[in-house]
Amino acid sequence: MSVGSSGTVPVLVLKEGTGRTTGREAQRNNIMAAKIVAETVKTTLGPRGMDKMLVSSIGDVAITNDGATIMKELDVQHPAAKMLVEVAKAQDNEVGDGTTTAVVLAGELLAKAESLLERNIHPTVIIDGYKKASEKAQDVLDSLAIPVTMNDDRRLMEVAITSMGSKGITVAKEHFAKLAVEAVRQVAEEKDGKIKADIDLIKVLKKHGKSLEETELVKGMVIDKEIASPQMPKIIDGAKIALLNAKLEIKKTEFDAKINIESPEQMKLFLDEEERMLREMVDKIIEVGANVVLCEKGIDDVAVHFLAKRGIMAVKSLSSSDMEKLARATGGKVMASIKDLTADVLGKAKRVEEVKIGDDKLVYVRECKNPKAVTVVIRGGTDHVIDEAERSLHDGLSVVRNAIEDGKIVAGGGAPEAEVAAQLRDYAVMVGGREQLAVEAFADAVEAIPLTLAENSGLDPIDIMVALRSKHEKAENKHQGIEVFSGEIKDMLELKVVEPLRVKLQVVKSATEAANMILKIDDLIASKGGGKMPPMPQGMPPGAGGMGGMGGMGGMPPY
């Protein structure tokens, strides 16, 4: 890149071949790329949204309408488009649901900002307006919240069913919702007067076969391993479980050592001593009253033989995360040494059994007393069905956790968005000046959520929005939303369509932050060889090429 007036020698500032786009063109290109990403997931929104088939570079196929999964699988090249992918990731990590909504809202905020930029409104004014609108929107959402408690079965089930209603497991959504509520409630604990539910303590295991309806919640753990020896009992009732993070093997010396054995008698003594040491370990396990041994490390074959002879079940080579969950589930402690094993550190379960599912053998630790870690075993006809069921269950677990931890829910079906938009338009008048236009643009962008729900359901979006706006002019209709199956405007609380407040708040926060960050950029500089920007997709307006191009999106057709 060079600068210089006519008749002078150009001065090289940046390396030759560096690409640069500035000002309005840079903003237009960034907005265009972000809008394309938003358009990609827009059709998946709501219970009547469509699915995407994603084919990876190695030929793996995923069929889903989960926004987080779609964004993860898309091989997005454009830096501004990558920001929307980050929005989806942040939304999924923080609240576990609402990823599609967040991306669609970010895309709409940028689309509305583009028309304001064309009216010569400075990006900083738009950003300030969006910040004020975002804060007001969060206040409005908070005022719309309805309290919910951990013991409110009905409301928690409604939250889970609403989340899963838009996923690919609608046939079994009630069953999965029940499992999600039970599982989250089981792992929830009260700390400092607040309820905390760590859904990482809910292990999800996928096994091919049977149907979605036969997915089960095990109040304990399921270990994807088989028993160490066929001679061991397959079922232990009234299990007392020793959890070991120590090898049931003879320790090797930490330095090189040689033992000179000169006669068969010495060899026999050596082997007898090894056997005696292993027998001592097994005797210690029996002495403390354990009848099940779950070991993170290896177990010597001789030790396995002794355990089997004494009627003790053993499983070896467990993962550290499984051991942690087993301790939470059984109430036992993981011991690093067999010498430290005592009766009071043993875990307890009503039954431990080996179960054969298809070609696999699993060990079920069932009916633990008040377990703080549980397992959901997902069954389904095909791998694609099981994978989508796992994604749906993750969303269900997340929303139930959010509702239990915060104790607040809001209506779904586009009702809170319609109410936020209505109140933002009143608020815009109070803001005044050019920022008023940005606040109004924010209100229009928020309304894109119910508008998209209507479009994806095959309804007339204009008629629906007119009806929805007229309902929200009256204060008593603040929970009125779109009943997507009949196309009518109804009270969403009566229809049991509810969502956690935390999801809605996070959608507004992350979408606003991403839109404001993209709006702030007015210069794109790409170093030579530093990830050459691909050409703009087909159908883009002239002048939107160069730096602002959007990359090939993981096997997606050109736009």
* C-alpha pair distances (Å), 11 with each of 7, 440, 477: 12, 46, 65
Burial of residue 248 (CB within 10 Å: 0-12, 13-18, 19+) is: buried
Active site residue 452: no
Q: Which of 92, 97, 395, 406 is catalytic?
A: 395
Q: How many helices (H) and strands (E) does the chain have?
A: 16, 23
Q: Which of 44, 100, 330, 375 is catalytic?
A: 100
Q: How many CB atoms lie within 10 A of CB 218?
A: 21
Q: Which of 21, 40, 44, 66 is catalytic?
A: 66
d(CA 384, CA 388): 6
d(CA 97, CA 395): 5
d(CA 81, CA 349): 50
Q: Any idea how long the chain is?
A: 559
d(CA 385, CA 393): 12
Burial of residue 343 (CB within 10 Å: 0-12, 13-18, 19+) is: exposed
Active site residue 522: no
Closest CA to 98 of 41, 28, 34: 41
Closest CA to 84 of 545, 513, 552, 532: 513
In DSSP terms, 386 is beta-bridged to none
**CA-CA-CA-CA torsion sign (457, 459, 461, 466):** negative
493's CB contacts (< 8 A; 6+ apart) are 146, 411, 479
Could you report how far apart the first and last alpha carbons of the chain are, in Å? 31
Q: How many CB atoms lie within 10 A of CB 5?
A: 6
Decide: 95 and 500 in contact? Cβ < 8 Å.
Answer: yes
Instruction: Give the HSE-up count for residue 548: Cα atoms under 13 Å, Cβ half-sphere.
Output: 26
How are beta strands 498-500 and 11-12 bridged, if at all? unpaired
For residue 380, the surrounding DSSP H or E stretch is strand 374-380
For residue 54, the surrounding DSSP H or E stretch is strand 52-55
- Tell me the one-letter amino acid at 168: G
Q: Which of 21, 44, 99, 162 is catalytic?
A: 99
- Tell me the one-letter amino acid at 21: T
Active site residue 395: yes
In the numeric block, which tokens belong to residue 411?
């209506």
Decide: 507 and 426 in contact? Cβ < 8 Å.
Answer: no
For residue 210, the surrounding DSSP H or E stretch is none
Active site residue 100: yes
Q: Which residues are catalytically annotated?
A: 66, 99-100, 395
